[in-house]
Structure 1
Amino acid sequence: MAFAAAFPRFLADDVLVVASTMPPHRLAPAFPFPVRVAGEGVAIPERVYNDEPDAALTASFSARQQTVFHCLYSRHHDGRVRQRHVEQIVALAEPWVVPFVVRLVGEYVAEIQRVIWDGLVDIDIPGTAQHDVYGAFLAANPAFLQRTRQQVASYWDCYYRNRWPRKYYPGTVIVESLCDAARHSADRGGPAAVR
């Protein structure tokens, strides 16, 4: 049930197929974060503790089921697993994928932020699918964007201030692009965005 709540209702059958292949969890999914996707409330687990299923079990997944699978495992408790899975979804311009990617921007793993930075190739170009989908989602979820922005600043201060000037920290670069996309969406008549 926790996994079904992480996606819009139209994906329920796909989520069920994916969840049926997942080994039992060692701990229940942790602290879901709420966001709105295309007007529908979802609650995405902060962390999942299921081991990855055998590749033979996932080989028959449809493209959409593969994406659901990668979204769920982008919330895995192991950072290497999160990175492998976000690599598969970061370039997709699907509204229901966006919160899984953005949440990783606000985490402390700079290597994952680099994957996201490299994957969001069109985020700064108005009119592209990436810019429009990310902008619309974030304009509709300003508290989520603001929280992500604050987490980026906090993790930079805590772990990376001696490695990068703040403006060159991957999380800062990404979150500023996300804020610009949200502002652009709001200026075009979307919901209010972070200013």
Structure 2
Amino acid sequence: MLAAYPRVVHLSRDPSNVTYVLAAAFPSRLAGDVRSVLAVMPDAKHAPMEPFEVEVEGETLAIPSRIYNEEPGADLERPLTGTQQVILHCLYSRHGDGRVRQRHLEQIVASREPWVAPFVVQLTGEYVLEILDVIAQGLAGLAVPGSAQRRLYGEFIARNPAFFARTERRVVSYWSCYYRWKYAVFGTYPGCALMEAFRAAASEHVGARWPRHTPPSLTGVAGELA
């Protein structure tokens, strides 16, 4: 069964309230940069959807499940600093339109900023197959022992075991619901390979085998769950 879809957070029309909600998705030291980004984002017709919480470098971040702001024009985005552009791409990777999510993910997937990691990992637990391909290509370093990407994602997963376990289960759910006709065995599904790579990163970080939260039978022969 698929996880329940996040509910809408009912916000007041006070712009400072929206600012607070979206700023909570990033480390507090970036509050000024977030305000600069929000200043160029068009107002949304709908409030952000309920956030999910993760820990990044000892700080709890609350990232919206979805936002609904239209994308700013290139003329508005251009003056942003490099960090501010990464913040903008992170926010739009949570957009309600999958094509918008993919477009902005492509700009951040290879980032080495620890606060980008939860935006990327969350997308592995969603249903757009093309997004999984973007992540696999952008995180090729996960396959390399001792690489910067392995260290970054290994530490993030070790800090957020419950979040990652939930992501694993969502990957299995979306495979079973939408893609089992194409990938009869879970082990051939792109999301499975990403979960294996993330677990390898976490195992390397903690120096022990990281627990699996996908049913072992899914890696066996086709038809085991039929």
TM-score range, shorter chain: over 0.9
Residues of 2 paired with 1:99 and 1:23: CA distance?
A: 24
Matched residue type, 1:110: L
Specify the alignment match of 1:122 in structure 2.
Answer: 141
Q: Which has the higher contact order (CA 8 A, sep 6+)?
A: 1
Segments ≥4 residues shifted beyond 4 Å: none
Residues of 1 paired with 2:56 and 2:46: CA distance?
A: 27
Does residue 69 in structure 1 map to residue 102 in structure 2? no
Contact 1:70/1:88 (CA < 8 Å) preserved in 2?
Answer: yes
Given candidates 18, 21, 25, the residue that maps to 2:40 is: 21
Given candidates 44, 48, 54, the residue that maps to 2:67 is: 48
Matched residue type, 1:174: L
Contact 1:29/1:46 (CA < 8 Å) preserved in 2?
Answer: yes
Residues of 1 paired with 2:62 and 2:43: CA distance?
A: 20
Task: Kindly state the Cα deviation for residue 194 of structure 1 after the two structures are TM-superposed.
Answer: 3.7
Matched residue type, 1:36: E
Specify the alignment match of 1:172 in structure 2.
Answer: 192
Structure 2 counterparts to residues 11-160 of structure 1, below 5 A? 11-160=30-179
Task: Kindly state the Cα deviation for residue 172 of structure 1 after the two structures are TM-superposed.
Answer: 0.9
Higher mean alpha-carbon deviation, 85-94 vs 72-81, is at 85-94
Contact 1:120/1:130 (CA < 8 Å) preserved in 2?
Answer: yes
Given candidates 207, 212, 217, the residue that maps to 1:187 is: 207
Identity of aligned residues (%): 52
Contact 2:200/2:210 (CA < 8 Å) preserved in 1?
Answer: no
Task: Kindly state the Cα deviation for residue 126 of structure 1 after the two structures are TM-superposed.
Answer: 2.1
Residues of 1 paired with 2:211 and 2:91: CA distance?
A: 27
Residues of 2 paired with 1:125 and 1:22: CA distance?
A: 37
Task: Kindly state the Cα deviation for residue 55 of structure 1 after the two structures are TM-superposed.
Answer: 1.0
Residues of 1 paired with 2:155 and 2:78: CA distance?
A: 33
Matched residue type, 2:154: G
CA RMSD of aligned residues (A): 1.3
Contiguous gaps of at least 5 residues in structure 1: none
Contact 1:142/1:194 (CA < 8 Å) preserved in 2?
Answer: no
Larger radius of gyration: 2
Specify the alignment match of 1:5 in structure 2.
Answer: 24
Tell me the alpha carbon deviations over residues 8-66 of structure 1, each in whole angstroms, 9 at most, x when there is no partner: 11111111100111111111110100000001000000000100011100101111111
Aligned to 2:149, the other structure's residue is in SS state: helix
Contiguous gaps of at least 5 residues in structure 2: 1-19, 213-226
Task: Kindly state the Cα deviation for residue 98 of structure 1 after the two structures are TM-superposed.
Answer: 0.2
Residues of 2 paired with 1:66 and 1:167: CA distance?
A: 36
Residues of 2 paired with 1:28 and 1:185: CA distance?
A: 37
